[in-house]
Amino acid sequence: MTGHEPTSAQTKPPPGTPAGATRDQYENVAQLLMRERGHGDFDFPRFYKELVEAGRLQLSKDEVTWLQQPAKPNRTTDVVLSFGCGVQTTPHLMMTLVGVFNALGIDFVATAGQSYCCGSPLKHYGRPDAGVRTAQTTIRRWAAWQPRVNVHQCGSCFMQFSGHIAEVEAETGRAPFEVVHITRYLLERLRDLGDAVPWRHPAPRRRALLHCEGAEVHITKQDAREAIIETLELIPGVEYVGMVADPSVGSPCGTSKGKRNLTGGEHYGTKAAPHNDITSSEYRQVQAELQAQAAAVGADVILTPHHKCHREWSKYGSDSLPVMHYTSVLAEALGLSIPDRFQILWRLGDANKILQMTRPHWESWGITEPKAREMVTRYFVPEYADAVQQCACEGNCFKTVLEPAASSNP
C-alpha cells in the first residue's frame, strides 16, 4: 500500500451519507439481529465459524476459486472482487460472480472470509480498535495486488471500506484504489462492452418483481436499486415489472419495516432471521401472498439484490414462482448454469437426503459424518419443513455447470 492506513477516526460516516445517518443503518443483518435479541456478548469465533460451515455443505474444497487466506501476489490485477463474510452461506452467489466476471472478460482476483473482513462485527460489539486494525490489514492485502478498483458484493463492507479509503485520500491526497459496489460495477461494465457482451441466444425470458430497499434505509441502497433496475433493462429477455411488497408477517430478511419483530433461534448463520420461528401455516400464507402479487402483474420470478436478502427470500421459492438473485439472471443470460445450491438443500427438508447429497462436499473438507449431520440439521432443516414445497428434481439439479471455467486466481 505505500504506508498509508486508515486512522481510528472510524466513527465518521463516509462522504455522501445523509445528515443524521450512520453506518449502523447499513450493517450486517446478523449483527442487527443479535443487538435486537439483547445479546451483550457477541461470540466472534462462532459467528465466523457458522458462516463457513454452512458453505462447506454446499461446495467442495476444489471448487473454491477465491482467496480465503492471505496470499502473496504473483501478478497485478485490475480488480479485487470482495465477497465479504456473510455470502459464504450462499456460495453459489460467489460461483456466479466468478463466472460472470470471466464471461465479461474482467481481470480480477476474488477474496472472501475472515482474512478479508471489514472489521464491522468487531466495531459494533465492543472492539472498535480491533475493527480498525482488521480493516487496515485487509486494505494492505488488497493493495498488494495493485488493483485499480475494489468491487464489493457486501453492502456493509462497501460502506466500511468507502469510509476507510476516503479518509486515506483526505489525509494523503491519494487512494490506493477506487471502491465500487457490485451493482454499479456490473452496470458500467455492461454499458462499456455494449454489443460485445456475449449474450446467450435465444435468451431466457423473465418477468421480474424485485425486492430491493432504497433511500429509506440508506442512500447507497437507493443507488444499488437504480443500478439493478438499469441492469435488468440491459439483459435480453428480462422485463422488470415492479417492486414486490413485503408479506403481511414482515420482510423475510428483516431489513425493512414489517409486523414481525427480529426474533428467532440462537443462530448466527442460515437461521439468524426474522422468520426462523414462523409456523407452517404462516409459511404457506407468505407463499400465497407472493404468488398473488406475481399473478397481478404477470411476474414469473422474484429477484433479490443481497446475499442475506436472497437467502431468506429464497426460502419461499417454488417451481411456479422461483426466487433468484439478480446476478443469477445475468449469468443465465450469459449462458452460465449455476444452480442455487442453498435453495435446493432448503427445499429438500430431509436431513438424510441432504447429508448424502452433500457428502462429496463435507468429506472434501475433512468433516466427519456425525458433525456433518449436526450441521445439516442446524443450517438446512427448518421447523416448518413439512410446509416447504419439495424440489421437483430431488436434488438432481444440484450439480453446477459452469462455462467458461470459473477461475478468479492465477
406: in domain: no
Instruction: Verify that 135 and 274 share a domain, yes or no.
Output: no
Of 64, 93, 98, the C-alpha closest to 403 is 98
Condensed to tens digits (0 to 9), the pLDDT of residues 297-311 reads: 999 999 999 999 999
Instruction: Verify that 371 and 237 share a domain, yes or no.
Output: yes
* Per-residue model confidence (pLDDT) at position 352: 94
Instruction: Verify that 306 and 213 share a domain, yes or no.
Output: yes
Condensed to tens digits (0 to 9), the pLDDT of residues 188-237 reads: 999 999 999 999 988 889 999 999 988 787 788 899 999 999 999 999 99
Please state, in angstroms and rounded to a whole number, the distance separating the CA atoms of residues 91 and 116: 16
Give 227-252 as a DSSP string: HHHHHHHHSTTEEEEEEPPPPTT--T
Please state, in angstroms and rounded to a whole number, the distance separating the CA atoms of residues 36 and 262: 7
Instruction: Verify that 224 and 165 share a domain, yes or no.
Output: no
Condensed to tens digits (0 to 9), the pLDDT of residues 245-277 reads: 999 988 998 744 444 333 333 445 555 555 667
Dihedral (CA of 56, 61, 62, 67) sign: positive
Dihedral (CA of 119, 122, 123, 127) sign: negative
Q: Which domain holds residue 147?
A: 24-193
| Residues 245-270 as b or e (16 or more Cβ within 10 Å = b) | ebbebbbbbbbbebebebebeebbbb
Q: What angle do CA 311, 317, 320 make, to 5 degrees?
A: 160
Tell me which of 173 and 121 has the higher pLDDT: 173
73: helix, strand or coil: coil
Instruction: Verify that 180 and 212 share a domain, yes or no.
Output: no
Please state, in angstroms and rounded to a whole number, the distance separating the CA atoms of residues 154 and 13: 17
114: in domain: yes
Instruction: Verify that 272 and 387 share a domain, yes or no.
Output: yes
Q: Which of 171, 193, 215 is the last residue of a domain?
A: 193
Rounded mean pLDDT, 17-44 = 45
For residue 19, name the pLDDT band (cuts at 50, 70, 90).
very low
Cell triple for residue 264? 428467532
Instruction: Verify that 121 and 185 share a domain, yes or no.
Output: yes
Instruction: Verify that 221 and 72 share a domain, yes or no.
Output: no
The residues with which 239 forms a beta bridge, in sequence order, are 207
13: in domain: no
Q: Which of 38-47, 171-180, 214-223 has the lowest mean pLDDT?
A: 38-47
Instruction: Verify that 123 and 66 share a domain, yes or no.
Output: yes
362 pLDDT exceeds 60?
yes
Rounded mean pLDDT, 125-152 = 92
Q: Which of 147, 166, 193 is the last residue of a domain?
A: 193
Measured in whole angstroms, the distance separating CA 37 from the mean position of its chain's CA atoms is: 23
Instruction: Verify that 113 and 37 share a domain, yes or no.
Output: yes
Q: 51: left (phi > 0), else alpha (psi -120 to 50), else beta?
A: alpha
Give 273-329 as a DSSP string: STTTT--HHHHHHHHHHHHHHHHHHT--EEEESSHHHHHHHGGG--SSS-EEEHHHH
Instruction: Verify that 163 and 209 share a domain, yes or no.
Output: no
3: in domain: no
Number of domains composing the chain: 2
Q: What mean pLDDT is reported for the chain?
A: 83
Q: Which of 177, 193, 209 is the last residue of a domain?
A: 193
Instruction: Verify that 253 and 154 share a domain, yes or no.
Output: no
16: in domain: no
405: in domain: no
